[in-house]
């Protein structure tokens, strides 16, 4: 027995399990609570829609139809694994079912055959409609099966239930066949393994590449003929890279000479400066644009 999850807690539980969730219209307040009690909760019920197409199926499950008003479930699971939330509270999905089955779900024991329809399931079960024609031919993609597994596990994890609290509509109400195309025993096995593995870890934050460290502007007075420094060589390499090489000698690769003066003035002109503004020594603006690596 459990208190129904709030809309916020249901959304968080599904997302924490790694599901892509879409909140459809006013799902948080969309329910049939005026028609009967909602809770205590005992399990999760899986259905198929007998429709095709995600959007049309979502609208149908949200709105319902003339003989069965919506919401027709709490979430619609599309073939690509997306979960569309369409209701929160009592929903028209389970209908009347077998009280012996409900007791087995509560006790998490083996399910008896469903041969009665004497108990209100809309009160006690979360419901997920899965987009499928239910004809035994319409495929169940791996992404959709995984999403069913995750959605069921998310709610079980939130309430502290085991996989025995997950049933199919066909196991609840006599005459129903949904979900058709996979067995609920196989789905419960998947949910059991997922629960045993523990709560999924949140994805790691994407690594941000470190910015390249640049040599800060050393000041105009630093640029004197004969200055010996690794920065000089780094500056020359950058000037070569931008096509402003005017060196007269390479005998002293880390000593400022006349070639450095000519090269840097060529770079200043390339940056759009002219006249006195394009003369040695370097200024901070063009130095920062040159992006000399830190040495």
- Top-confidence residue, 84 or 227: 84
Instruction: Give the contacts of 275 (CB within 8 A, at least 6 positions apart).
Output: none
pLDDT of 286 strictly over 60 = yes
pLDDT attached to residue 183: 98
81 and 22 Cβ atoms separated by less than 8 Å: no
Q: Which of 15-24, 36-45, 135-144, 259-268 has the lowest mean pLDDT?
A: 259-268
Return the percentage of the chain with pLDDT > 70, whole number.
96
154, containing H or E segment: helix 142-159
pLDDT for the residue 212? 63
What is the token pair recorded at 282?
């370097």
CATH numeric code, 7-196: 3.40.80.10
Residue extents of the structural domains in the chain? 7-196, 220-290
pLDDT of 211 reads 56
More confident residue, 49 or 247: 49
- Say what the pLDDT of residue 160 is: 97
pLDDT value for 52: 97
Name which of 93, 94, 89, 77 is nearest 26 in CA terms: 89
Specify the higher pLDDT residue, 244 or 177: 177
The CA distance from 265 to 121, in Å, is 83
The overall average pLDDT reported for the chain is 93
**Looking at residues 150-156, what average pLDDT do you find?**
98
Tens digit of each residue's pLDDT (9 = 90 or more) over 59-96: 999 999 999 999 999 999 999 999 999 999 999 999 99
Confidence of residue 142 (pLDDT cuts 50, 70, 90): very high
If one counts every other C-beta atom within 10 angstroms of the C-beta of residue 253, the result is: 13
pLDDT in the model for residue 249: 57
Q: How far apart are CA 52 and CA 132, in angstroms?
A: 6
Query: Cα separation of 105 and 236, whole Å?
Result: 77
User: What average pLDDT score do residues 209-221 get?
Assistant: 80
Record the pTM. 0.71
Instruction: Give the residue with greater pLDDT, 213 vs 112.
Output: 112
pLDDT of residue 78: 98
Q: What pLDDT score does 62 carry?
A: 98
The band of 245, judged by pLDDT with boundaries at 50, 70 and 90, is confident
User: Which pLDDT does position 242 carry in this prediction?
Assistant: 87
What percent of the chain stands above pLDDT 90?
75
Q: What is the pLDDT of residues 169-201, one digit of tens each?
A: 999 999 999 999 999 999 999 999 999 999 898
Pairwise CA distance, residues 20 & 128, whole Å: 15
Helices 7-16, 142-159: crossing angle, 10 deg rounding: 130
* pLDDT in the model for residue 202: 81
Q: How far apart are CA 260 and CA 255, in angstroms?
A: 9
């Amino acid at each position: 027995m459990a208190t129904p999850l709030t809309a916020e807690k249901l959304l968080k539980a599904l997302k924490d399990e790694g599901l892509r969730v879409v909140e459809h219209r006013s799902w948080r307040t969309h329910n049939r609570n005026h028609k009967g009690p909602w809770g205590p909760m005992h399990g999760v019920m899986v259905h198929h829609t007998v429709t095709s197409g995600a959007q049309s199926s979502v609208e149908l499950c949200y709105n319902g139809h003339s003989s069965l008003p919506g919401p027709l479930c709490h979430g619609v699971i599309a073939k690509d694994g997306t979960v569309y939330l369409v209701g929160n509270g009592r929903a028209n999905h389970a209908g009347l079912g077998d009280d012996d089955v409900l007791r087995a779900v509560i006790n998490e024991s083996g399910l008896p055959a469903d041969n009665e329809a004497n108990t209100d399931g809309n009160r006690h079960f979360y419901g997920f409609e899965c987009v499928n024609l239910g004809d035994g031919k319409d495929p169940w993609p791996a992404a959709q099966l995984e999403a069913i597994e995750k959605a069921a596990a998310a709610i079980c994890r939130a309430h502290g239930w085991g996989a025995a609290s997950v049933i199919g509509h066909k196991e609840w109400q006599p005459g129903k066949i949904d979900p058709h195309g996979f067995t609920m025993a196989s789905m419960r096995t998947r949910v059991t393994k997922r629960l045993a593995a523990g709560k999924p870890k949140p994805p790691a934050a994407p690594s941000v590449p470190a910015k390249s460290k640049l040599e800060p502007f050393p000041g105009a007075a630093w640029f004197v003929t004969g200055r010996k420094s690794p920065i000089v060589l780094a500056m020359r390499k950058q000037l070569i890279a931008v096509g402003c090489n005017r060196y007269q000698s390479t005998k002293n690769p880390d000593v400022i000479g006349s070639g450095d003066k000519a090269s840097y003035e060529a770079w200043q002109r390339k940056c759009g400066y002219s006249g006195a503004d394009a003369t040695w020594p370097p200024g901070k603006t063009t130095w920062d644009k040159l992006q000399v690596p830190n040495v």
